[in-house]
């Protein structure tokens, strides 16, 4: 292969993926590692990469302790009830106690945060969310990271982590290729912070044909955080906890600003309130602990996000759709009307464009909502990700093995979507997690834990061959195309993605089956995933761009397999509205008040599953958990 090999040696902290978590990691690594070599490898361009590429209109995680608003304990209570109990409270608390300082820095760096003119505090959207003029959010945090790093490699898609050849289960860097030049990049590093983001486009999206690619989470979120870490043998947690979101139809515009700030509400197709109708039956399924209807009115305890979805999905299935967002009242106020549009112009411009293009004026027409296809990520109302050590001052022994946010692979750290059990971190919390991970990575190096790392030439060569194999395969077999892009010897990345999405949708609880699955379906799904894995060995890439798509697909495949195994393992329906196990339709606290942990053996591909204790470190105070 003609592509050059470019080796970057002697790195201390390698950041793989520089979205919100990665930029936080690079920034903080410089603070604790003044003389350390910090390098970023980013698939796109750091200035506009990741889920925040397009900007955001709110920072969804801010305590406001400085203004006497909230404390981290309450945030843990809120996230815990929203996730039906299943969170890593040590990691959550740790993020929440540091997140405000990250937000204050964003403001210092030039991010315009809105202020409440009466109080001088930041303008609240909801209890936890503050409003921003955030179109340039990503370039602003990128600047801090660029100034901190010794080198930024843009356009390098990281495909694999390098492992230490002298010590089992210790990371040694990463490899990948430049998506423009095709060059092979080798990064030899003492520690790696993986912050390569969550996954869209694993489950078949509602958007098809000309709309394909329109999804809520960024279409370029390829599950690489999970693919890289699973591939290296890191344990994962809560991968069954995929998220379904209520969104404005077809443009996937988020609803938070509307519900919380504009105080809009939903109605069924007949103009009726429908949510509360579903709660009594739902209380039977999940128990009073998670949906105490009477108490929730008194305490303003939040209705968990998944349960709100449940009411939505069931109302539509009962034939009383579509669900509308009642905007016509709020939009009569010119200020709120402006906020409603700005919210999308600064964050999900496609929604504003779609309304304009289809003559939907929310002032005169209540727009339709829908429930999205599931996404696999770990920083919204969901906590998929790696099983990581917590901080030493908070974590019980089962949650602590030396370094904050270190995975079960030595020297391998995570942040943002990469870390499991830490929902409701959002952009600010992900950045904060990056900071915490990088601080711990520096300590790991200073403690001498990275001494004696060796990467063999054999490993570097083997990975190179593996990376470019799809292009080789294409070269060899391209002449055997029978029609269009059909070739008996290979599939291309688009064909592979379609197949993955279809099988995840049908067997693992996507939109076309109303989020329903069961053990039988999951078993078939797993078998089909294995067959797909065999075919992915023969995937063909016509050019470098397709090579990127091929590797994104492989990462999505590894992610999907973990989701399928986890969904099979947890024999209950913990999050009605995210997915249903038809063969175990209730929350089962006696057996399943636990976190799920998986391990994929990198050599054999075999999965082992285990339960881990779900410790409640913060005492319960229902009234303190308000949304
Ligand atoms: O309204 C590789 N998010 C929101 N957060 C908020 O705080 N407020 C909001 O308003 C939010 N909303 C929202 C949000 C996201 C999106 C898409 C929309 C609306 C439309 C969530 C946050 O964005 C999210 O929590 C964080 O960004 C997560 O951070 P992180 O670091 O885990 O992921 P990332 O930012 O996507 O970065 C990943 C980076 O990795 C790169 N990458 N690099 C090298 N090799 C590979 N193989 C790679 N694969 C990926 C990516 O390019 C990227 O830079 S609302 O809906 O709630
Ligand atoms: P979203 O725009 O749906 O991504 O949500 C943004 C923020 O608002 C998140 O913190 C959500 O948990 C919160 N949120 C959205 N809808 C509601 C609601 N109906 N009630 C309470 N919180 C909500």
Residue 15 near residue 26, CB atoms below 8 Å:
yes
Q: Is 81 in the pocket of ligand 2 (CB under 6 A)?
A: no
| Atom in ligand 2 nearest the alpha carbon of residue 627 | 21
Each residue of 382-403: pLDDT tens digit? 999 999 999 999 999 999 999 9
Protein residue with least CA distance to atom 6, ligand 2 = 256
Farthest CA pair distance, the chain:
71
From 27, 40, 43, 51, mutation site for ligand 1 pocket: most ligand atoms within 8 A of C-beta: 51
CA distance 124 to 217: 23
Protein residue with least CA distance to atom 7, ligand 2 = 256
Say how many CA atoms lie within 13 Å of 343 toward its Cβ. 25
Rounded distance from Cα 35 to ligand 1 centre (Å): 29
Q: Is 20 in the pocket of ligand 1 (CB under 6 A)?
A: yes
Q: What are phi and psi of 153, to 5 degrees?
A: -100, 100
From 254, 256, 575, mutation site for ligand 2 pocket: most ligand atoms within 8 A of C-beta: 256
**pLDDT score of 1:** 56
Each residue of 78-96: pLDDT tens digit? 999 999 999 999 999 999 9
**pLDDT score of 454:** 98
CA distance 50 to 44: 8
CA distance 95 to 520: 39
**pLDDT score of 33:** 98
Rounded distance from Cα 499 to ligand 2 centre (Å): 32
Residue 475 near residue 542, CB atoms below 8 Å:
no
Q: Is 526 in the pocket of ligand 2 (CB under 6 A)?
A: no
Residue 322 near residue 316, CB atoms below 8 Å:
yes
Strand 412-414 and strand 184-194: the pairing is parallel
Indicate which ligand has the atom closest to the C-alpha of 256. Answer: 2
Q: Low-confidence residues of the chain, pLDDT below 50?
A: none
CA distance 375 to 49: 18
Rounded distance from Cα 551 to ligand 1 centre (Å): 19
Protein residue with least CA distance to atom 21, ligand 2 = 627
**pLDDT score of 4:** 97
| Atom in ligand 2 nearest the alpha carbon of residue 126 | 8
Residue 246 near residue 239, CB atoms below 8 Å:
no
Indicate which ligand has the atom closest to the C-alpha of 369. Answer: 2
Residue 595 near residue 88, CB atoms below 8 Å:
yes
Residue 348 near residue 54, CB atoms below 8 Å:
yes
Rounded distance from Cα 216 to ligand 1 centre (Å): 11
Rounded distance from Cα 570 to ligand 2 centre (Å): 26
Per the structure block, which two tokens stand in for 259?
A: 């519900």
Strand 594-600 and strand 607-613: the pairing is antiparallel
Protein residue with least CA distance to atom 25, ligand 1 = 426
| Atom in ligand 2 nearest the alpha carbon of residue 308 | 19
Distance of CA 609 to CAs 401, 550, 558, Å?
Answer: 20, 28, 15
Q: Is 469 in the pocket of ligand 1 (CB under 6 A)?
A: no
**pLDDT score of 170:** 98
């Amino acid at each position: 292969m003609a592509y050059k090999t470019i080796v970057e040696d002697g790195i201390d902290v390698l950041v793989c993926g520089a979205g919100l978590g990665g930029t936080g990691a690079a920034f903080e690594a410089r603070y604790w590692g003044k003389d350390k070599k910090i390098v970023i490898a980013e698939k796109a361009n750091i200035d506009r990469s990741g889920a925040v590429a397009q900007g955001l209109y709110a920072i969804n995680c801010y305590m406001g302790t400085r203004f006497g608003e909230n404390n981290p304990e309450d945030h843990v209570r809120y996230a815990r009830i929203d996730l039906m109990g299943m969170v890593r409270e040590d990691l959550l608390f740790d993020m929440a106690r540091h997140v405000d300082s990250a937000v204050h820095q964003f403001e210092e760096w030039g991010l315009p945060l809105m202020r409440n003119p009466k109080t001088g505090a930041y303008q609240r959207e909801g209890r936890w969310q503050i409003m921003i003029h955030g179109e340039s959010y990503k370039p602003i945090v990128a600047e801090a990271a660029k100034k901190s790093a010794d080198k930024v490699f843009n356009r390098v898609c990281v495909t694999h982590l390098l492992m230490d050849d002298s010590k089992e289960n210790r990371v040694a860097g990463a490899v990948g290729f430049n998506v423009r030049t095709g060059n092979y990049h080798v990064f030899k590093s003492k520690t790696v912070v993986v912050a390569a983001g969550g996954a869209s486009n694993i489950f078949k999206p509602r958007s098809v044909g000309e709309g394909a690619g329109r999804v809520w989470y960024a279409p370029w979120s390829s599950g690489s955080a999970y693919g890289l870490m699973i591939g290296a043998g890191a344990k994962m947690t809560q991968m069954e906890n995929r998220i379904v979101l209520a969104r404005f139809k077809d443009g996937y515009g988020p609803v938070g600003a509307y519900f919380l700030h504009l105080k809009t509400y939903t109605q069924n197709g007949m103009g009726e309130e429908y949510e509360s109708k579903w709660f009594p039956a739902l209380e039977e399924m999940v128990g009073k602990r998670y949906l105490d209807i009477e108490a929730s009115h008194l305490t303003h305890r939040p209705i968990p996000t998944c349960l709100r979805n449940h009411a939505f999905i069931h109302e539509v299935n009962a034939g009383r759709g579509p669900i509308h967002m009642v905007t016509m009242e709020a939009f009569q106020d010119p200020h709120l009307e402006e906020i409603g549009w700005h919210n999308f112009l600064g964050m999900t411009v496609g929604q504003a464009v779609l309304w304009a293009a289809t003559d939907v004026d929310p002032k005169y027409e209540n727009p339709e909502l829908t429930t999205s296809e599931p996404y696999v990520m770990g920083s919204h109302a969901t906590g998929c990700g790696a099983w990581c050590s917590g901080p030493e001052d908070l974590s019980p022994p089962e949650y602590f093995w030396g370094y904050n946010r270190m995975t079960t692979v030595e020297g391998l750290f995570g942040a943002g979507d990469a870390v499991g059990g830490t929902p409701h971190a959002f952009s600010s919390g992900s950045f904060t997690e990056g900071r915490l991970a990088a601080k711990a990575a520096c300590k790991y190096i200073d403690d001498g834990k990275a001494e004696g790392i060796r990467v063999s030439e054999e490993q570097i060569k083997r990975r190179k061959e593996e990376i470019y194999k799809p292009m080789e395969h294409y070269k060899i077999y391209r002449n055997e195309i029978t029609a269009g892009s059909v070739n008996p010897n290979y599939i291309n990345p688009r064909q592979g993605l379609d197949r993955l999405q279809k099988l995840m949708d049908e067997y693992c609880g996507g939109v076309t089956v109303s989020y329903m699955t069961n053990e039988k379906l999951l078993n078939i799904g797993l078998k089909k995933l294995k067959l797909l894995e065999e075919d992915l060995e023969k995937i063909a890439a016509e050019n470098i761009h397709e090579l990127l798509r091929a590797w994104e697909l492989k990462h999505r495949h590894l992610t999907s397999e973990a989701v399928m195994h986890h969904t099979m393992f947890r024999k209950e329906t913990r999050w009605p509205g995210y997915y249903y196990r038809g063969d175990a339709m209730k929350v089962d606290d006696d057996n399943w008040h636990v976190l799920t942990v998986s391990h994929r053996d990198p050599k054999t591909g075999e999965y082992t599953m285990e339960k881990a204790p779900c410790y409640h470190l913060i005492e319960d105070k229902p009234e303190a958990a308000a949304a």
